[in-house]
Amino acid sequence: MIINVKVKLRSNNSRLEKISSNEYLAYLSQPPEKGKANLELIKLISKELLVPQNKIKIKTPTSRNKIVEIL
């Protein structure tokens, strides 16, 4: 399954909002340094969608509009 996630950084709290069936908006508190925001996004998707973290791959790691593959 492929989902599109638009990322908003440096938020007060982390959360994931569903926009449509395969589009989400993620608010992340971690800065985009050394992969911290991407790791937080993986943990957030894992928790919200009940998927193991090792089954989540970010296809566009440097973009704010991320394409995420869930295996």
* Per-residue confidence band for 32, with pLDDT thresholds at 50, 70 and 90: confident
* Per-residue confidence band for 30, with pLDDT thresholds at 50, 70 and 90: confident
DSSP 14-35: -EEEEEETTEEEEE--S-SSTT
User: For the CA atoms of the chain, what is the radius of gyration?
Assistant: 11
**C-alpha span between 68 and 71 (Å, rounded):** 10
Please compute the mean of the pLDDT values over residues 28-50 and round it to a whole number: 92
Task: Show the domains of the chain with their CATH numbers.
Answer: 2-70 (3.30.1200.10)
What confidence score (pLDDT) does residue 27 get? 96
pTM: 0.88
Nearest in space to 6 (alpha carbons), one of 71, 69, 63, 70: 63
